[in-house]
Amino acid sequence: MNQILAAGTRVTVQYKGQQVQGQITAKSTDWAADVWLLGMPETITVKLPWDKVEKNEYRCFIVEETTDLVTITEVEPRNSHPMNWSGSRETTREGAWAFAQARGKNTVFVGRDGSRKELGRVFDPRAFERAAYHGYVAYGHSMSDGYYAPIDFEAWVESLRKFPEHELNHQNDVPESVKAALPLYQQALASVGL
């Protein structure tokens, strides 16, 4: 017999020829999974044999930063969707990589088996811009009464490219480790004539 999953576990199932996300309900038995299909216009639950149910797992990473190094460590996968990880140290692969790219430091990846891979210095100007913009938006939200509409990302980036010190230091909660990558950002812009 296949593994019986606890109520609330996120799964993928086949429904009418399509792969559909679902969640195990408390009505499941030893012989059949009761799955609530997510993203449907109406509430649909289906009974399926356990061997037709695939548990979702999302890769998780923890990012640690020192003065000159970013370490990305893969940890045990989680069953809950990343949008539910608020307040957790874990992040997605994309989130970990963007963190490293915004800082421009030497980066090391540590696998779940303990293996280490030196990735060297990584920097992406767009990741830097996104991190700086998040700091701008965070500051605006912290100073508002709940009604806050930041300017568009691309419009803000135009201002960042013209006045980087001002945009990073005036009304912005961007981390100091991102601010420290400003010279790399300016070099990247100069190299393409911006």
23-58 residue pLDDT tens = 999 998 888 999 999 888 888 899 998 988 888 888
Residue ending a domain, choose from 121, 149, 176: 121
Asked if 187 and 129 sit in the same domain, the reply is yes
At 194 the pLDDT is 64
Is 65 a member of any domain? yes
Asked if 15 and 40 sit in the same domain, the reply is yes
Is 1 a member of any domain? no
Read off the pLDDT of residues 111-148 as tens digits, 9 standing for 90 and up: 999 999 999 998 999 999 999 998 888 888 788 777 77
Asked if 113 and 86 sit in the same domain, the reply is yes
Helices (H), 35-150: 93-103, 125-142
Distance, in Å, from the CA atom of 135 to the CA atom of 133, rounded to the nearest integer, reads 5
Cβ-based burial of 34 (10 A; exposed 0-12, middle 13-18, buried ≥19): middle
96-109: average pLDDT: 93
At 2 the pLDDT is 57
At 102 the pLDDT is 92
Asked if 78 and 49 sit in the same domain, the reply is no
Question: How many structural domains comprise the chain?
Answer: 3
Read off the pLDDT of residues 162-183 as tens digits, 9 standing for 90 and up: 999 988 888 888 888 889 999 9
Helices (H), the chain: 93-103, 125-142, 153-162, 164-169, 176-179, 182-191
* Structural domain harbouring 39: 10-55
Distance, in Å, from the CA atom of 127 to the CA atom of 184, rounded to the nearest integer, reads 12
Distance, in Å, from the CA atom of 108 to the CA atom of 100, rounded to the nearest integer, reads 10
